[in-house]
Amino acid sequence: MAVHTGSALPPGASDSTFARAFTALTRVVGAENVHAGDSLADYQDPYSFSEPGAYAPSAAVLPASVDELQAVIAVANEHQIPLWTVSRGRNFGYGGAAPRVRGSVVADLSRLNRVLTVDEDACYALVEPGVSFADLHQHLRDIGSALWVSVPELSRGSVIGNALERGFGYTNAGDHSAQICGMEVVLADGRMVRTGMGAMTGNAAWQMYKGGYGPSLDGLFLQSNYDTVTKMGVWLTLPPDRAIVCTAKARNEGDLAPLIDTLRPLLLDGTIQSNFMVGNALATASMITDRNQWYDGPGAMPDSVVRTLCDKLDLGWWNARCALYGTEELAGHASMRCAAPSAASPVWSSRCGRIPGHQCHPTCIRPIAVSSAFPARTSSAWRLGGGGDPAHTDFSLVCPPKGADAVRQAQLIRRRVEEYGFDYAGGFTTFPRHGIALALVSFDKSDPEQKAAVGQMFPQLVADAAAAGYVLPRACDVHGSHRGPVRLGRSCGTTSAADNQGCRRPQRHPLAR
């Protein structure tokens, strides 16, 4: 039986009051499904740059059904214990499964892991929170379905948590929150609502029609702490006849604006159906080589070394990648349209290649994850060859999909990360009407100076971005306390049912409170 060791307590709770709550939670889910003390290792942020234990939970509880979850919420409300929900807790780079308030109880939904429905005709699935992208992909194959689920780089994260965070993948369904259709939600007072057509028991179009009668509720539950989503409809896509990966390289740092501005019209007119990725050479190199193979001096890697790396690895300073889908004729025509700018513009060369045997997997347009849902290496390994304990954290910004904005953001981020001695390994994922700027900051978490530098740098980055009119898409978890001067107005009021008395995921996306 798990025993609460008292290593972290909820705010305001004494050992004895928490012990009573802990006993009640144990009664709900069984002792083997409550973790405390040493067995909480999985609920720490593996890439933390904060003081050890700053975000330590008091316990983790794993309900196996919606009824159990409601009972857990009732215990938390009765004892005024903050609950922090994770679906699979793989929010790496953004805080992992760790709560934002030390001493919270983590409600880990990974045991609610059923794929409830797959509809081949209407191309959707209804899933529970514990279903990962890899699980859903495997389930589809196991039942003989060829449907695609759009997969982020880390396929072990949950379909639901990622969509709620407005995460993204790399196919024509890459904007994951846009694929949500119908949710079942347990509110902070324990009552349940179903959004859209789900409001009517037995409605046949719950996962097909997003609307309902009157106001739509779904947006309330994205990046919010009003709820726990217990079921979600997710739209899947038909596998295309052909998928063609199109890559483009721009030689110089100054080529970013023309590269983005050349590709955007092809996104807007539907020639390119996936979001396109534009990454600098270090973003690519960090996934395939070790940093110290190129540079082991102080500070950020100098441009001259980056140029050498580009030449040796055959990379552009900027490297773009997207996918074209359709029948042979349609995909072929699209690839000719994409290749055309290379003749017209001196800044880039483009190349389109068919996926061998066109056995496409939804992750197949990732450079290192061809045909595999499990990338072997991530950018945190960039500093691996240099020893220490490699970690990474992500900084991202919402960006208009325009060259001028991309340049402004790249310069803003690069200046600040280099000031703190880190490499700027970054780029953009670009949809027709918005982009997300990404910077992957790798650091050695066994080095207190590097950890402190990351912690000091983030508020500066947020402030720089706010001053320029940009904001983070996920003001979350790990960056929640570093939001600097950024304040967004709340778009709605809470309902009495959602009024969580501070018990449900406090400090989650604090911009919204």
Ligand X SMILES: Cc1cc2nc3c(=O)[nH]c(=O)nc-3n(C[C@H](O)[C@H](O)[C@H](O)COP(=O)(O)OP(=O)(O)OC[C@H]3O[C@@H](n4cnc5c(N)ncnc54)[C@H](O)[C@@H]3O)c2cc1C
Kindly list the residues in this chain that would bind ligand X in the complex (CB under 6 A): 85-94, 97, 109, 129, 152-154, 157-158, 160-162, 164-165, 167-168, 227-229, 378-379, 476-477, 505, 508
Dihedral sign of CA atoms 416, 417, 419, 424 in order = negative
Distance CA 316, CA 293 (A): 19
SS (H, E, C) 90-116: CCCCCCCCCCCCCCCEEEECCCCCCEE
Cβ(150)–Cβ(171) below 8 Å? yes
Minimum distance from residue 3 beta carbon to ligand X (Å): 26
Minimum distance from residue 12 beta carbon to ligand X (Å): 22
Minimum distance from residue 503 beta carbon to ligand X (Å): 14
DSSP code at position 508: S
Minimum distance from residue 477 beta carbon to ligand X (Å): 5
Nearer to ligand X, 168 or 458 (CB): 168
Nearer to ligand X, 242 or 504 (CB): 504
Distance CA 36, CA 59 (A): 5
Please name the residue that has the structure tokens 């794929």: 115
Nearer to ligand X, 36 or 159 (CB): 159
Nearer to ligand X, 20 or 156 (CB): 156
Nearer to ligand X, 161 or 196 (CB): 161
Sheet strands (E) in 113-258: 115-119, 124-127, 180-187, 192-194, 227-235, 242-250
Q: Which residues contact 135 (CB under 8 A, 6 or more apart)?
A: 113, 115
Cβ(133)–Cβ(155) below 8 Å? yes
Angle value at C-alpha 319, between 314 and 321, nearest 5 degrees = 115
DSSP 409-423: HHHHHHHHHHHTT--
Nearer to ligand X, 228 or 280 (CB): 228
Minimum distance from residue 186 beta carbon to ligand X (Å): 9
Nearer to ligand X, 283 or 347 (CB): 283
Distance CA 128, CA 184 (A): 9
Q: Which residues contact 435 (CB under 8 A, 6 or more apart)?
A: 260, 398, 399, 400, 401, 405, 406, 428, 429
Distance CA 463, CA 440 (A): 18
User: Treating both helix axes as pointing N-terminal to C-terminal, what angle do 448-467 and 403-419 enclose, rounded to 10 degrees?
Assistant: 150
Nearer to ligand X, 26 or 275 (CB): 275
Nearer to ligand X, 218 or 255 (CB): 218
DSSP code at position 383: G
Tokens, residue 382: 């960039």
DSSP code at position 168: B
Minimum distance from residue 316 beta carbon to ligand X (Å): 21
Minimum distance from residue 294 beta carbon to ligand X (Å): 20
Cβ(260)–Cβ(430) below 8 Å? yes
Nearer to ligand X, 124 or 221 (CB): 221
Minimum distance from residue 355 beta carbon to ligand X (Å): 19
Please name the residue that has the structure tokens 């900027």: 318
Nearer to ligand X, 154 or 465 (CB): 154
DSSP code at position 275: P
Q: Which residues contact 270 (CB under 8 A, 6 or more apart)?
A: none
Minimum distance from residue 315 beta carbon to ligand X (Å): 19
CA 437 to chain centre: 13
Minimum distance from residue 56 beta carbon to ligand X (Å): 16
Minimum distance from residue 335 beta carbon to ligand X (Å): 24
Nearer to ligand X, 28 or 347 (CB): 28
Minimum distance from residue 256 beta carbon to ligand X (Å): 21
Distance CA 362, CA 370 (A): 9
